Amino acid sequence: MISLVSRAAVRSSNAIRCYSTEVAPRKTSSLKGGLFGFLLGTTITGVAGYYYLLNEYKNSSDLVLSDVLALQKSIRNLETQVRVLESKK
């Protein structure tokens, strides 16, 4: 009787092991992770650099535009002063 019970226990434990839902751990390559990290870091840095350069370009463009407008204003003032001087002759 004892041998029948122990055989049944062994069979049931084997059956449990065979139909277990455990998943074997995956071995990931460090090269794969390193390459992914490098590409992710490069992409993030590239995007940040692009927006920084875009912002600098906008700021410099606005500065040049404001200088051109100031130059136009000073030229208009100069033209009016020259007209006033010419009208005095």
In the predicted structure, residue 10 carries a pLDDT above the cut 70: no
Residue 28 has which token pair?
């990931």
Q: How does pLDDT run across 16-43, given as a tens digit for each residue? A: 555 556 776 766 677 888 899 999 999 9
Q: Could you state, in order of their start, the residue ranges of all structural domains in the chain? A: 32-87
d(CA 69, CA 29): 60
Going by the DSSP 8-state scheme, the letter that residue 57 receives in this structure is H
- Cα 70 from chain centre: 38
d(CA 83, CA 3): 124
Cut 0.75: pTM above it: no
